[in-house]
Amino acid sequence: MVLQWIKGHPQFLKNPLYIGGDSYSGKTVPIITQEVSEGNEVGREPPMNLKGYILGNPFTDPTYDVNSRIKFAHNMALISDALYESTKTNCKGEYVQVDPSNAPCVENLQEVTQCLQKINSPQILEPICSTMSPKPKGFKWDKNFVGENFLDMPHRYPEPWCRAYNYLFSFIWANDKTVQNALHVREGTIRDWERCNQSFSSSYAHDVRTSLDYHRNLTKKNLRALVYSGDHDMFVPYVGTEEWITSLNLSIDYTWRPWFVNGQVAGYTKAYTRKAYSLTYATVKGAGHAATEYNPRECFPMIDRWLSYYYI
């Protein structure tokens, strides 16, 4: 698809190409980046000016992403020291593929679940909305679900503000014909827009358990990578992301240090190298899953600096 787009827009052929995405794109972006890089190496036409890739809060490998949730919860004081140490010992650090006959481990994980089940995993400081959530599977756009009463909906429930209301409003925006015309959506190609369209999942095989091998391959190429994490995301915790980056065995370019926006600490960063390859890692302070949604004022200068000046 990237190649088709470039062929259809040849005026962008010489522009630097960075392939990026958030969340589940942690599985697909490294694959696409490797495919484009290898295509250039074998002389595929037209050649693309590939420079690197960008990943935010990326799903990479369940061994790191899911196992790290308990360590993250302990770091954030969501589970006690005693429960964390007991769980780590009894489960031997494995919380994904649990032996059901290991009764102490199973019991500990049940206690962990009791502590965490009412926590909003994408951003642990924000509320879980129990009323009129627009995100569950099966929720579809209803053309009749508009109007003044609908727009007043967030104010009619005795709950704190809920981020899910933003997702509901996106249905109005994306299904508006004026918006679709402005985006040059071809008439008839889509009937009703859905956020996180689940129908696509049935069309593809979920056969990539981990994208780590692709990352390892990319470290051998002349590429740049930016990986960032919202530090309040328990869905794909920064803890696991830092661990899989460490597993790449790269050299340290610069050590852990703060980065700033408008004179305030916006997060922390560390950089790695291997010959012509470089990887910059950054946390975004206070952000959830994914950081660009929660902290756009910090993420924009972060990415802009990295693209323009090679540092954050």
Catalytic hit among 74, 215, 232, 289: 289
- What pLDDT is attached to residue 162? 83
- What pLDDT is attached to residue 156? 53
To the query of whether residue 233 is one of the catalytic residues in this protein, the response is yes
To the query of whether residue 206 is one of the catalytic residues in this protein, the response is no
- What pLDDT is attached to residue 152? 53
Cα(181)–Cα(178) distance, integer angstroms: 5
This prediction's pTM? 0.88
Cα(197)–Cα(96) distance, integer angstroms: 26
- What pLDDT is attached to residue 50? 97
- What pLDDT is attached to residue 4? 83
| Closest listed residue to residue 27, CA positions, set 197, 207, 181, 185 | 207
Instruction: Give yes or no for a contact between 171 and 134, defined as CB atoms under 8 angstroms apart.
Output: yes
- What pLDDT is attached to residue 140? 47
Cα(9)–Cα(278) distance, integer angstroms: 29
- What pLDDT is attached to residue 155? 53
- What pLDDT is attached to residue 193? 84
Sheet bearing 277-284, strands edge to edge: 17-22, 50-56, 224-230, 277-284, 264-274, 251-261
Give the pLDDT of the chain (312 residues) as one tens digit per residue. Answer: 778 888 888 899 999 999 999 999 999 999 999 999 999 999 998 999 999 999 999 999 999 999 999 999 999 999 999 999 999 999 999 999 999 999 999 999 999 999 999 999 999 999 887 644 444 444 444 444 444 444 555 555 555 678 877 888 888 899 999 999 999 898 888 878 887 777 766 777 778 999 999 999 999 999 999 999 999 999 999 999 999 999 999 999 999 999 999 999 999 999 999 999 999 999 999 999 999 999 999 999 999 999 998 888
| Closest listed residue to residue 225, CA positions, set 178, 272, 181 | 272
Catalytic hit among 23, 68, 121, 211: 23
Catalytic hit among 22, 231, 233, 278: 233
